[in-house]
Amino acid sequence: MKTMIFKVEGIKCGGCAGKIKGAFEGSQEVNSVEVSVDDKEVTVMGEKLSGMGIKKSIEELGFEVLSMKKA
C-alpha cells in the first residue's frame, strides 16, 4: 500500500479535517485519510494513488497544497 503526505494550508479545525476526509469517502483509490490539524498535514493511504489527483481534489475544497511526498 502506498502512503502520501500532503502539507496543506488552510486546515484550521476539525470541520476542515472532516471536509477533507469526506471528500475521499467511497473513493476506490483511497483506503484511508488522516488529517492533522496541528501539523496541517493530510496523510492518504491506498493501492493506486494519484498524487496530482489527490492534490486537485484537496484544492477543489478550497485548501492550498504546499507540498506532497511519499512516505
Q: What is the pLDDT of residue 59?
A: 98
Determine phi and psi for 19, rounding to 5 degrees: -65, -45
Distance CA 59, CA 31 (A): 20
Architecture of domain 2-70: 2-Layer Sandwich (3.30)
How does pLDDT run along the chain (71 residues), one tens digit per residue?
Answer: 999 999 999 999 999 999 999 999 888 889 999 999 999 999 999 998 999 999 999 999 999 999 999 99
Query: Residue 26's pLDDT is what?
Result: 86
